[in-house]
Amino acid sequence: MRRWAVGRASPSAVRGGIGGDRSQCVERHLTNFTIAQNSGLRRGLGPEMQFRFSDCMLDTDRRELRRGSESVDVEPQVLDLLIYLVQNRDRVVSKDDVIASVWANRIVSDGTLTSRVYAARKAVGDSGQEQRLIRTIARKGLRFIGGRV
């Protein structure tokens, strides 16, 4: 189990790591974002990844989003969009990048993309006004900015 903690994670959030084996955890504090990676491969899908930001936890292996202790119901495309944005949080992703990843280059209307971004923001407790987690960069695309203000 590897753990990268980016930002100030409380001791209770980091304690024991995912799976409870502290001996295999590595932590780094850079921003308010935590990534936990299980080095074991599961069902041929690659390593298990858990992303923690704000009061949310996104588990890519289980395809689950949690806010606090509650599971958040999201559509599969919204979850795919969130996973793509979080995995590419170090850069601005263009509309074309999102369509290629989430919709496999199918023709998608602007309204469909806009509604999925709205649903993703709502799922993580963000809004188009605040944009504290998912920011729209005019004429460039979207960027997941995690816990930074």
The reported pLDDT for the residue numbered 44 is 39
The predicted pLDDT at position 49 comes to 84
**Could you give the number of structural domains in the chain?**
2
Q: How far is CA 68 from CA 109, 111, 144, in A?
A: 33, 30, 19
Dihedral, 109, 119, 134, 5 alpha carbons, nearest 10: -130
Per-residue confidence of the chain (149 residues) as pLDDT tens digits? Answer: 334 433 334 434 433 344 444 333 333 333 445 555 443 333 334 456 899 998 999 999 999 999 999 999 999 999 999 999 999 999 999 999 999 999 999 999 999 999 999 999 999 999 999 999 999 999 999 999 985 43
CA distance 3 to 94: 29
Strands 33-41 and 2-6: antiparallel
Instruction: Give the pLDDT of residue 99.
Output: 96
C-alpha 144/C-alpha 83 separation (Å) is 10
- Residues 45 and 93 occupy one common structural domain: no
Clarify whether residues 44 and 78 are in a common domain.
no
Are 33 and 84 in a shared domain?
Answer: no
Let me know if residue 38 belongs to a domain. yes
Q: What is the sign of the dihedral through the CA atoms of 138, 140, 144 and 147?
A: negative
Q: State the Cα–Cα distance between residues 102 and 59, nearest whole angstrom.
A: 17
Range of the domain at 43: 2-53
Quote the pLDDT of residue 127: 94
> Which pLDDT value is given to residue 146?
81
What pLDDT sits at residue 7?
38
